[in-house]
């Protein structure tokens, strides 16, 4: 299974590709899609779409793992983040990918073991889990990798639950 993790953002969108099965996975690549804040918001959304579409075409992931919307103190920021998420959901659907969403707290809990972990803690654990030589930067890309890793942990558990259900039938 190949998973594309996305940390949505209109100025810096993080992405990460992780491949494997169950709890055995490895890093393929990661990066960011950056857009100029001077551009109209519609042009920034288009840049996010095009940038992630290139990643999908290059790596052909099976799953789009996306961070769920979360509460933001600034309503304008939350709305813009929701629009970026919507564009990513649309892109995943158009590319016939399985789409899963995880809350920021669950992602941190899964990867770090603490739901209120700091950015640097997530980066350090991603480095360890993916056996990287250096901490992945920027944090947007590290977060995207954490989102992909989260899916491996939860998809594996769901597979086990489903196999137990089949045995009981």
pTM score of the predicted model: 0.90
Give the model's confidence band at 41: pLDDT under 50 very low, under 70 low, under 90 confident, else very high.
Answer: very high
Residues taking part in catalysis: 7, 67, 140
- Give me the CATH code for the 2-168 domain, please: 3.30.420.10
CA dist list (Å): 38 to 11, 13, 41, 78, 93: 10, 16, 9, 19, 29
Distance (Å, whole) CA 1 – CA 159: 13
- pLDDT surpasses 80 at 149: yes
Q: What is the mean pLDDT of residues 58-85?
A: 87
Residue % of the chain over a pLDDT of 90? 73
Q: What is the pLDDT of residue 150?
A: 96
């Amino acid at each position: 299974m190949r998973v594309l993790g996305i940390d949505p953002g209109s100025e810096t969108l993080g992405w990460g590709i992780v491949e494997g099965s169950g709890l055995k996975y490895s890093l393929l690549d990661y990066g960011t899609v950056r857009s100029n804040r001077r551009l109209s918001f519609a042009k920034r959304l288009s840049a996010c779409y095009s940038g992630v579409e290139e990643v999908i075409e290059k790596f052909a992931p099976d799953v789009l793992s996306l961070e769920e919307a979360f509460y933001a103190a600034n309503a304008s920021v939350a709305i813009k983040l929701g629009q970026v998420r919507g564009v990513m959901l649309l892109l995943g659907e158009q590319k016939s990918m399985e789409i899963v969403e995880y809350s920021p707290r669950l992602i941190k809990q899964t990867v770090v073991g603490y739901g209120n972990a700091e950015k640097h803690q997530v980066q350090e654990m991603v480095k360890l889990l993916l056996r990287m030589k250096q901490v992945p930067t920027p944090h947007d890309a590290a977060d995207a990798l954490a989102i992909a890793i989260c899916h491996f942990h939860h998809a594996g558990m769901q597979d086990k639950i489903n196999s137990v259900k089949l045995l009981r039938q």
